[in-house]
Chain A
Amino acid sequence: MFRKKEPSLEVIIGSESSVTGDIITKGVVRIDGDITGNTDADWLIVGATGMVKGNVVSRGVLIDGRMEGNIKSKEIVEIKSKGIVEGDIFTTRLIISDGAIFDGHSYMQKVTNIDNKDVLSFEQKIKKSL
């Protein structure tokens, strides 16, 4: 059976740990401690005790702690209710839960007139024509 590589939890920084330096990985990073440095990952999770100072480039980001720096995401940035983000966010989807703090600029790619409904109906038309 061939299937896509599932992203694996590559890096965990525990709540009692502190790291200075950049993290570059193709997997999932979970930060519950302090990190001062940039992160380049597939998915980044910042726990409630986590504190990130630096920029983040990732496919998806979930923040429930503190983040100071810019976030560049291809897919989704989610800020949970305890999350605090100070910095700019470049993403396609953004979710901010009630209670979260976001101080910064949000840059989102504007989806033009194509939305999911149009895509689905287009696929159906193709199937019908086949």
Chain B
Amino acid sequence: MTNNAPGSTGDSEEKVTTVIADDLEIQGIMKFKSSLMIKGVLEGEIISEGLLIVGPTAKVAAKITTKNLISHGEIQGDVTASDRVILKSTSAHNGNITTPNIVIESGSIFNGSCIMKREEPVQTPDAVFFTETMVKKETVSEEEITEETEMKKTEEQKTETVWSNEDEYSAPKSPKAELF
């Protein structure tokens, strides 16, 4: 199953696992994980964690939640993409787009609001670690808190930082605790 239609696969190198051909009309909720290309008519809702490609002949009237979206066709409805949205030159979009990255090519029609949401991922292990250190520390100064937030960012690099209260803590239990 290869897609030989011109411009249908766009610039994505991923092989599209599912294709809805241009003669199909679907109503309903579609969920997929890897990739989907729509060339037909779809009405309903789309929920995915992967790549959604809307072909040039496609007409989609749906609420879309996906990771990546590449649109060559008509979309009516709100789109929430966690990675990026690319509206190609033949695309027409009526609806709101919420995404951290967007590329709109010349010729595309976009009616709707664009919200660039740049969410920082919530790291729950750090929150637990933070509360543990709060219990251990006798005094918590503001400088330590700001330094801790910086620590969270450099945590993966495992760099040793000059930490004024280093001597207060006992032997480190985990690699993360070594940084303190």
Report the bound CA distance from A98 to B107 in whole Å.
16
Of the four ranges (under 10, 10 to 19, 20 to 34, 35 or more), the interface on chain A belongs to: 10 to 19
Question: Which listed segment binds B: A16-24, A36-44, A101-109?
Answer: A101-109
Residue of B nearest to A105 (CB): B113
Report the bound CA distance from A105 to B114 in whole Å.
6
| A110–B92 CB distance below 8 A | yes
Given A95-B104, A95-B106, A101-B116 contact (CB < 8 Å): yes
Residue interface mask A87-118, B partner, CB < 8 A = 1: 00000011111111111111110110000000
| B114–A98 CB distance below 8 A | no
| B115–A103 CB distance below 8 A | yes
Across the interface, B114 reaches (CB within 8 A) one of A93, A95, A103, namely A103
A87 to chain B, nearest CB (A): 11
Residues 127 to 168 of chain B near chain A (Cβ within 8 Å): none
Across the interface, A76 reaches (CB within 8 A) one of B105, B106, B111, B114, namely B106
| A95–B115 CB distance below 8 A | no
Residues 48 to 101 of chain B near chain A (Cβ within 8 Å): 84, 92, 101
What is the interface size of chain B, counting residues whose CB is below 8 A from a CB of the partner? Answer: 18
Report the bound CA distance from A103 to B102 in whole Å.
11
Total A-B pairs, Cβ < 8 A: 44
- Inside 8 A of A110's CB, which chain B residues have their CB? 92, 109, 111
- Inside 8 A of A106's CB, which chain B residues have their CB? 110-114
- Inside 8 A of B105's CB, which chain A residues have their CB? 95
Given A107-B111, A108-B111, A110-B92, A102-B106 contact (CB < 8 Å): no
- Inside 8 A of A76's CB, which chain B residues have their CB? 106
Report the bound CA distance from A97 to B114 in whole Å.
14
Given A93-B107, A110-B92, A100-B102 contact (CB < 8 Å): yes
Residue of B nearest to A102 (CB): B114
A4 to chain B, nearest CB (A): 23
Given A93-B106, A95-B106, A104-B114 contact (CB < 8 Å): yes
- Inside 8 A of A97's CB, which chain B residues have their CB? 103
Q: Which 3 A-B pairs give the minimum distances between C-beta atoms?
A: A96-B104, A105-B113, A106-B110
Besides the known contacts A101-B116, A103-B114, A103-B116, 9 further A-B residue pairs in the complex with CB atoms under 8 A apart: A93-B107, A94-B104, A95-B106, A97-B103, A99-B101, A102-B116, A103-B115, A106-B110, A111-B109
